[in-house]
Amino acid sequence: MAAAAIATHAGKRRRELLGLMWVKGFSIPCRHQHKKKWATTRPKNSAIRLALQNFDMTYSVQFGSLWPSIRIGLLSEQKYGALFNNFSNIEQVTKELEHLNAVDFIRESQKVVQDLDSTAAQQASEPAMSTGTLLVPAESQPQPLPSLSTLLSPNIKCYTFPKGDISLFPPARPDTLGILGYYLLDAASVLPVLALNMQPGDLVLDLCAAPGGKMLALLQTGCCRELAANDISTSRTGRLNGILRSYIPKNICDLVRVTSWDGRKWGDLEANTYDRVLVDVPCTNDRHSVMEEDNNIFKNMRKGERQMLPMRQLELLVAGILAAKPGGVVVYSTCSLSQLQNEYVVERAMELLSIQYNISVHVEDLSSFQRLFEDTFYFFPNCRLGELVLPHLLANFGPTYFCKLHRLG
């Protein structure tokens, strides 16, 4: 009897302990519980799973043998750069960033230009090589890069860690005036702003400005006579205003007009107005789509929105070009690897503008960016139009696509 009572009590106690493992939806770790496995526990229709399936199907064809490396990069921790705030305590922030062994990748590119100029000058001073009667034409020699002042927006500084260095930047601290010293972002997202080649007194439109990193980079140039920073979402324009308060002095903020209009209508609202237009369109946001369920465009409820993305991107680019002055510069950019959202949108926009508006657009060759920044980023070598930064474990920036357009008429 005593043994039976003890067994009954032990069984009851065991059931009570097992019951305690699930209290109000919270589980208590147990030695015999098994760790959940991502592949078996994630819902079959999760947005992340759908994104990966989509990318494996399309990008394996588009990139061939490069896709496995790109895929690993997308699924690994993103690398960041520190966009230097020229309105902060410059000496203190510079010392802080250099103490971390970070380097300004834009300043480092100046050394590339100087080395190429030196090589070109040396070759020019040497007699042409000959083999029998065959002379090596000048066109076959490596061509020097133009001066950075003719290529890039001025005054922008962005610090990064070298390839293979996975160090992290600490959060920026405010100075005595409450201004933050730098803004953390994907360093590749600075390239579209550099490509605009801003000039003093430019009237500038950032058509899809949120979350605000590129807007901040535009202001660092010191070239904006006025900057229109637009985003269709009022919640995101609230974030733009927050960034302005944290990084920009009041007198410079007065140069910025923050709006929340539908960017697709800008060509009607302010046609032929701007010297420089940045069109950083909504896209599949490839890195986010394979890492985060929240706000993921591959959710089933957003299927229609995803299917309409190329059309929306086309309408935004056309509106941006119409808003530019004849002779103005437009840079189109995405954070997607997709040709359908990148080159195809540019090509279709050029066709549409020619047919419907009798406007000609010239695509500028940006291959010099590969030579300038090859020590910082990995570029896709086969873009028909524009440039594409590829994620890579040794330099895990991007994806960032950008294409520079000149409106001719």
The catalytic site residues sit at 335
Q: How far apart are CA 237 and CA 229, in angstroms?
A: 8
- Is there a binding annotation on residue 208? yes
**Region of 55 on the Ramachandran plot (φ > 0 left; ψ -120 to 50 alpha; else beta):** alpha
> Is 364 in contact with 406 (CB distance < 8 Å)?
yes
DSSP for 32-86? Answer: TPPPP-HHHHS-TT-HHHHHHHHHHHHHHHHHGGGHHHHHHHHTSPPP-EEEE-T
For 20, the enclosing helix (H) or strand (E) is helix 2-20
Task: Give the number of other CB atoms < 10 A from CB of residue 199.
Answer: 13
Token pair belonging to 67: 């896709």
**Do 386 and 405 contact (CB within 8 A), yes or no?**
no
Provide the 10 A C-beta neighbour count for residue 377. 25
238 is in an annotated binding site: no
Query: Annotated binding residue at 391?
Result: no
Cross-strand pairs, 401: 334, 388
386 is in an annotated binding site: no
**Tokens standing for 313?**
């991107």
Residues 331, 335, 336, 341, Cα dihedral to 10°: -30
C-alpha to C-alpha distances, 268 to 316, 332, 359, nearest whole angstrom: 12, 19, 15
210 is in an annotated binding site: yes
Concatenated DSSP letters for 249-299?
-HHHHTTEEEE---GGGHHHHSTT-EEEEEEE-----HHHHTT-STT-TTS
Determine the Cα–Cα distance for residues 380 and 329; give it in Å rounded to an integer: 23
Residue 211 assigned to a binding site: yes
Cβ–Cβ < 8 Å for 407, 327? yes
Three-class DSSP category at 333: strand
Identify the bridge partners of residue 279 per DSSP, sorted by sequence position: 332
Q: Is 262 annotated as a binding residue?
A: yes
CA distances in angstroms from 56 to 53, 71, 308, listed in the order given: 5, 8, 21
Give me the amino acid identity at 57: M
213 belongs to an annotated ligand binding site = yes
Query: Which residues sit in the known binding site?
Result: 208-214, 231, 262, 280
Residues annotated in the binding site for S-adenosyl-L-methionine, as ranges? 208-214, 231, 262, 280
